[in-house]
Chains A and B, each alone.
Chain A
Amino acid sequence: MIVPFGHVLMLAGMLFLLGVFCTLTRRNLVMIILGVEVMLNAAAIAFVGAALHWQSLEGQAFVLFIMAIAATEVSVGLALIVYAYRRSGSFDPSSCNLLR
Chain B
Amino acid sequence: MKWMLFGPETYIFLVAFFFLILSMWRGPHSEKDHVLALALSGLGVVISLACLGAEGLLFAGAYRLDLFSQVFKVALSFGLFLIVCLCANVEEIKRRYRLEFYFFLFVCTLAMMLLVSAQHLLTILLALELSSYSLYILVTLRRDEDMGLEAGIKYFLTGIFASSIMIFGMALLYGATGAVYLQDLAQVLPEVMGTPAAVIGLLLTFGGFFFKLAVYPFHFWVADTYQGAPDQVTAYIATASKVAVIAVVIKLIAAVDQNSTYLIHVLAVLSIASMTLGNLAAMVQKDMKRLLAYSTIAHSGYVLIGILSGGTAGYASAVFYALALLVMKFTVFLVVVVLSPRGKNLEREELAGLHGRSPLLALALMVSIFSLAGIPPTIGFMGKFYVFMGAMDKGLFVLVLIAMINVVVSLYYYLLIIKAAYLGHSWETPPAVHLPQPMRWLTGALIATMMVAGFYPTPLIRLSEAVARSLM
Residues of A within 8 A of B (CB): 5, 9, 12, 16, 19, 23, 29, 32-33, 36, 39-40, 42-44, 46-47, 49-50, 53-54, 56, 58-59, 61-62, 65-66, 69, 72-73, 76-77, 80, 83-84, 87, 93, 96-100
- Which of A39, A53, A69, A73 lies in contact with B165, CB distance below 8 A? A39
- Which of B121, B149, B165, B228 lies in contact with A87, CB distance below 8 A? B149
Question: When the two chains form their complex, are residues B167 and A50 in contact, meaning their CB atoms are under 8 A apart?
Answer: no
Q: How far is the CA of A42 from the CA of B151 in the complex (A)?
A: 28
- Which of A29, A36, A80 lies in contact with B164, CB distance below 8 A? A36
**How many of chain B's residues touch chain A, expressed as a range?**
35 or more
User: Provided the pairs A5-B175, A59-B174, A65-B122 are in contact, do residues A84 and B165 lie with their beta carbons within 8 angstroms?
Assistant: no
Question: When the two chains form their complex, are residues A40 and B197 in contact, meaning their CB atoms are under 8 A apart?
Answer: no
17 additional contacts (CB under 8 A) given A29-B153, A47-B174: A12-B168, A12-B171, A32-B157, A36-B164, A39-B167, A50-B171, A50-B174, A61-B122, A65-B122, A69-B129, A69-B167, A77-B160, A80-B149, A80-B153, A83-B140, A98-B150, A99-B223
User: Provided the pairs A40-B164, A65-B122 are in contact, do residues A76 and B137 lie with their beta carbons within 8 angstroms?
Assistant: yes
**Chain A residues closer than 8 Å to B146, beta-carbon distance:** 87, 98
Question: When the two chains form their complex, are residues B147 and A99 in contact, meaning their CB atoms are under 8 A apart?
Answer: yes
- Which of B122, B125, B228 lies in contact with A58, CB distance below 8 A? B122
Q: How far is the CB of B429 from chain A (nearest CB, A)?
A: 30
**Chain A residues closer than 8 Å to B161, beta-carbon distance:** 23, 36, 39
- Which of A42, A50, A76 lies in contact with B175, CB distance below 8 A? A50
B145: Cβ under 8 A from any A Cβ = yes
**Chain B residues closer than 8 Å to A23, beta-carbon distance:** 161
Q: How far is the CB of B182 from chain A (nearest CB, A)?
A: 13
**Chain B residues closer than 8 Å to A66, beta-carbon distance:** 167
B44: Cβ under 8 A from any A Cβ = no
**Chain A residues closer than 8 Å to B168, beta-carbon distance:** 12, 16, 39, 42-43, 46
Q: CB-CB contacts of B145-180 with A at 8 A, as 1s and 0s? A: 111011111101100110111011011101100101
- Which of B129, B171, B178 lies in contact with A54, CB distance below 8 A? B178
16 contacts between A and B (CB under 8 A): A5-B175, A19-B164, A23-B161, A36-B161, A39-B167, A39-B168, A44-B171, A50-B171, A50-B174, A50-B178, A69-B126, A69-B129, A76-B156, A96-B150, A98-B228, A99-B223
**Chain B residues closer than 8 Å to A58, beta-carbon distance:** 122, 174, 180
The secondary structure that dominates the A interface is helix
- Residue on B nearest A8 in the bound complex, by CB: B175
Q: Which 3 pairs from chain A and chain B are nearest by CB?
A: A46-B171, A50-B175, A54-B178
User: Provided the pairs A43-B170, A96-B153, A96-B154 are in contact, do residues A62 and B122 lie with their beta carbons within 8 angstroms?
Assistant: yes
**Chain A residues closer than 8 Å to B147, beta-carbon distance:** 98-99
Q: CB-CB contacts of B372-408 with A at 8 A, as 1s and 0s? A: 0000000000000000000000000000000000000
Q: How far is the CA of A93 from the CA of B149 in the complex (A)?
A: 11
Question: When the two chains form their complex, are residues A99 and B227 in contact, meaning their CB atoms are under 8 A apart?
Answer: yes
- Residue on A nearest B144 in the bound complex, by CB: A98
Q: How far is the CB of B330 from chain A (nearest CB, A)?
A: 23
- Residues facing A in B175-192 (CB within 8 A) are 175, 178, 180
- Residues facing A in B233-290 (CB within 8 A) are none
Q: How far is the CB of B394 from chain A (nearest CB, A)?
A: 35
B347: Cβ under 8 A from any A Cβ = no
B72: Cβ under 8 A from any A Cβ = no
